[in-house]
Amino acid sequence: MIKIGKCTYKVPNGKLLKVTVEYEKKTIKKVQIRGDFFIHPEESLDDLERSLMGIDYDRKKISDAVGEFFEKIGLVAFGITPKAVVDAVMKCKGSAE
């Protein structure tokens, strides 16, 4: 059964993230990250969300994927941090259980 977790997460000194995670057992099916932050180039957020599809719903796995994304050359972000994304995605898990 697919569960849907949702959360609103205030990034310390940053913006408000609204995250939805669809997952089945231990596997992430889909993630959507919304909010009033800035990421240049903008389209790369779709890549981040895609990179989380199919991975284990596990802090370490998510942390690695998000870390890799933020280290991409030329990526500039304001109001959102790798740690905030990981924390928010993990927080969603609790919300559905």
Query: Are 62 and 55 spatial neighbours (Cβ–Cβ below 8 Å)?
Result: yes
Give helix then strand counts, H and E, for the chain.
3, 5
Q: Please say which residue, 8 or 58, places its beta carbon nearer to another protein.
A: 8
Residue among 39, 52, 65, 89 that touches another protein (CB under 8 A)? 39
CB of 73 to another protein, least distance (A): 14
**Interactions with another protein, residue window 50-69 (CB under 8 A):** none
Q: Please say which residue, 30 or 61, places its beta carbon nearer to another protein.
A: 30
The span from the CA of 60 to the CA of 83, in Å, is: 11
Is residue 18 within the footprint of another protein (CB under 8 A)? Answer: yes
The span from the CA of 95 to the CA of 5, in Å, is: 5
CB of 33 to another protein, least distance (A): 7
The span from the CA of 85 to the CA of 91, in Å, is: 10
- Residues forming the site for another protein (CB under 8 A): 15, 18, 32-42, 45, 76, 78-79
